[in-house]
């Protein structure tokens, strides 16, 4: 049964000036997920995907050049006709964040993984944490159950076996803390299930 729950929490950064030493996990991934990944993912308009650090890494200089030149994100509306609800243009802080990140070697930063305590000794999870260079934190059943109204994919299997509404999404949300949000429903592949949540201890980057 594919119940190897795995949750990664990325922290969203917020500031009115760009961080001097941004990392992918804390600072850049939230910008890319917000502004670029709608096109830069499999099956969408752009020819390359920006859905993970590994996929982004070969493109970092091109990304910097495109955002500095304000070529990306592709923006077809007239900038003089007012603001738009789905305005994907980058703020100066976001552009500076990407520039600082690339000029300091485009580091990946820290990742945190969270799972249910009852699963924390599964060899697959321990190996995944090692491969991802992430610290694995075990959470209580109560912490996962507290997320019941916020998960996207209720799991009958997780309910029956562990008494939790689902493992990956609930653990990611619990790990991300109050105000955290899932970037999408959990993904399953090869017997592993993974969900990613952004923490918003601080508000998301300012928009202009």
How far, in Å, CA of 183 to CA of 207, rounded?
19
Assigned token pair, 180 = 């955290």
Question: Which residue lies nearer to ligand HEC by CB, 65 or 127?
Answer: 65
How far, in Å, CA of 11 to CA of 206, rounded?
15
Q: Does 46 bind ligand HEC (CB under 6 A)?
A: yes
**Positions 81 through 100 that interact with ligand HEC (CB under 6 A):** 88, 90
Q: Does 153 bind ligand HEC (CB under 6 A)?
A: no
Question: Least distance to ligand HEC from the beta carbon of 204, Å?
Answer: 14
Among 3, 6, 72, 113, binds ligand HEC (CB under 6 A): 72
Alpha helices in the chain (DSSP H): 29-35, 53-56, 60-68, 92-103, 123-132, 141-145, 156-162, 168-176
Which of 131, 89, 93 is CA-nearest to residue 113? Answer: 131
Question: Which residue lies nearer to ligand HEC by CB, 38 or 145?
Answer: 38
The window from 66-74, 118-126, 144-152, 190-198 that contacts ligand HEC (CB under 6 A) reads 66-74
Question: Least distance to ligand HEC from the beta carbon of 62, Å?
Answer: 4
Helix (H, G, I), strand (E, B) or coil at 87: coil
Residues 6 or more apart whose Cβ sits within 8 Å of residue 142: none
Question: Which residue lies nearer to ligand HEC by CB, 85 or 156?
Answer: 85
Q: Does 38 bind ligand HEC (CB under 6 A)?
A: yes
b/e per residue, 13-28, with b = 16+ CB within 10 A?
bbeeebbeebbbbbbb
How far, in Å, CA of 185 to CA of 52, rounded?
16
Q: Does 10 bind ligand HEC (CB under 6 A)?
A: no
Question: Which residue lies nearer to ligand HEC by CB, 33 or 162?
Answer: 33
Q: Does 39 bind ligand HEC (CB under 6 A)?
A: yes
How far, in Å, CA of 115 to CA of 123, rounded?
13
Q: Does 66 bind ligand HEC (CB under 6 A)?
A: yes
In a 13 Å sphere around the CA of 201, the CA atoms on its Cβ side amount to 9
Question: Least distance to ligand HEC from the beta carbon of 136, Å?
Answer: 31
Question: Which residue lies nearer to ligand HEC by CB, 99 or 117?
Answer: 99
Where does this chain bind ligand HEC (CB under 6 A)? 35-36, 38-40, 45-47, 59, 62-63, 66-67, 72-74, 88, 90
């Amino acid at each position: 049964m594919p119940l190897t729950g795995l949750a990664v929490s990325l922290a969203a950064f917020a500031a009115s000036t760009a961080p001097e030493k941004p990392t992918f996990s804390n600072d850049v991934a939230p910008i890319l997920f917000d502004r670029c990944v709608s096109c830069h993912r499999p099956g969408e308009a752009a020819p390359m995907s920006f859905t993970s650090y590994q996929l982004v890494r070969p493109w970092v200089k091109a990304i910097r050049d495109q955002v500095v030149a304000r070529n990306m994100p592709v923006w077809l509306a007239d900038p003089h006709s007012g603001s738009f609800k789905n305005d994907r243009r980058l703020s100066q802080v976001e552009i500076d964040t990407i520039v600082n990140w690339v000029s300091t070697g485009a580091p990946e930063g820290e990742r945190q993984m969270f799972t249910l305590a009852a699963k924390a000794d599964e060899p697959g999870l321990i190996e995944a944490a090692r491969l991802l260079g992430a610290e694995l934190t075990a959470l209580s059943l109560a912490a996962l159950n507290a997320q019941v109204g916020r998960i996207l994919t209720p799991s009958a299997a997780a309910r029956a076996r562990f008494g939790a509404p689902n493992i990956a999404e609930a653990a990611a949300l619990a790990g991300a803390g109050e105000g955290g949000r899932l970037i999408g429903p959990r993904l399953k592949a090869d017997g592993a299930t993974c969900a990613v949540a952004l923490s918003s201890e601080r508000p998301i980057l300012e928009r202009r």
